[in-house]
Structure 1
């Protein structure tokens, strides 16, 4: 099997496992093995080995002392820290999109946002990913992709209670960008992200410390 084929299969495994972690199909602390993942995804162990390394770099899995990997238990304090970084990076996205993005691409994204059902977490997350892509900065896209993956379960939990609000925020941000008002869209985006941050802070105050929602002893 060629190197290119292994890379494509590795990427497929990374995407599948990241999605399963975000959807709680793989639970925090659940053990992962090369053999098991290879069988599940019908690939050899070589791309699985590379996928696990990538997932470890993304902070989604951790290597166990005795061998193998496990789904990482994401501490809420870490999520809160990541969301501080997220807010700043999203402001940078808006700045770059306002400067470089094609108006037609923004109008197409707005049309999609308006036509799709509000509250669908996959759709709402795609808006952020597409805006990052339109910034034209590949490293920014990579950094945000890691943050999206590591904070996704909490963002989805927050979104259950704010579906319409989140949808409307995205529509308004896109409208401002199309109107050439990036300076107004930037603080709007920061506030949009900080709403999720405040939700995480509320969980922390309530004693939540990880995805398992265990309270401290």
Structure 2
């Protein structure tokens, strides 16, 4: 794939990560071409790649949109994601290095500090801290393939996790759970770390329905 196509992919992924593009949003191909100063071909190549990854859908008469799951798809992806994140936490507990341990502790402290100082406000900032925490765990697992799988799968759910922080009490619970997970990892309790992480990233069907409805 050409360097221009990779530039388009990076641009779209950044917009998904930052919440500029939400599930169901149309990806404006013409605007991408103009902004990046490229032709139609690399844009189409990039969209095909993202479609293969399950991050983009093509709809008749609508073009390319950011993947928007049905309830059944959402729950299926969530189930897989919980397993992946749990496995990453388990591996991190077995393989944690001093450097990765320090990065994990810093990520947890940042989440706790936000919760203490800002409570439930500035949910966008907390979400970025949450991403840093999960990245720290995945990196500590020492498996690049698993890390990429976690990151790719997370992007299908990213907007919904971000929206969930607007629910009362979720930031406080999240920061508390991050501390529990990190303690299990630092104590080398692999089974506990896996279980805590899987439960942390999962939520019930009613919550899933509420989150899906927020993007209708």
Q: CA deviation at 1:57?
A: 2.4
**Structure 1: distance between partners of 2:25 and 2:12:** 16
Shift of the 32–175 alpha-carbon distance from structure 1 to 2, 3 Å rule, reads: same
Q: Does 1:49 align with 2:44?
A: yes
**Structure 1 CA distance, aligned partners of 2:4 and 2:209?**
45
Deviates more, 1:109-118 or 1:123-132: 109-118
CA RMSD of aligned residues (A): 2.8
1:132 to 138, 148, 165: 138
1:143 is aligned to: 149
For residues 28 and 191 of structure 1, the distance between their equivalents in structure 2, rounded to whole angstroms, comes to 24
1:143 CA displacement: 1.8
Q: Which residue does 1:180 correspond to in 2?
A: 188
Structure 1 residue 144, shift from structure 2 partner:
1.4
TM norm structure 1: 0.78
Q: What does residue range 176-215 of structure 1 map to in structure 2 within 5 Å?
A: 176-194=184-202, 197-198=203-204, 201-203=205-207, 212-213=215-216
Deviation at 1:154, TM superposition (A): 1.8
Change (3 A) 1:149 1:49: same
C-alpha distance 205-121 of structure 1, shift in aligned 2 (>3 A): closer
Change (3 A) 1:188 1:47: same
Supply the distance in 2 between the matched residues of 1:78 and 1:67 (Cα, whole angstroms).
21
Distance 1:39 1:16, change over 3 A: farther
SS in 2 for 1:136: coil
Q: Please, which runs of 5 or more residues in structure 2 have no aligned partner?
A: 116-122
Q: Please state if 1:63 is matched with 2:63.
A: no
2:85 equivalent to 1:85: no
Instruction: Render the CA deviation track for 1:13-63: whole Å, top value 9, x for unaligned.
Output: 23223235xx2x435444334322122345554543333223212323212
8 Å contact kept, 1:28–1:211: no
TM-score, structure 2 normalization:
0.78
Residue 94 of structure 2 corresponds to which residue in structure 1? 99
Q: In 2, distance between residues paired with 1:205 and 1:51?
A: 31
Q: Which runs of 5+ in 1 are unaligned?
A: none
Indicate how the Cα distance of structure 1 residues 205 and 36 shifts in structure 2: closer, same or farther if over 3 A, else same: closer
Find the aligned partners of 1:141 and 1:9 in 2 and give their Cα distance.
Answer: 21
SS at structure 1 position matched to 2:134: helix
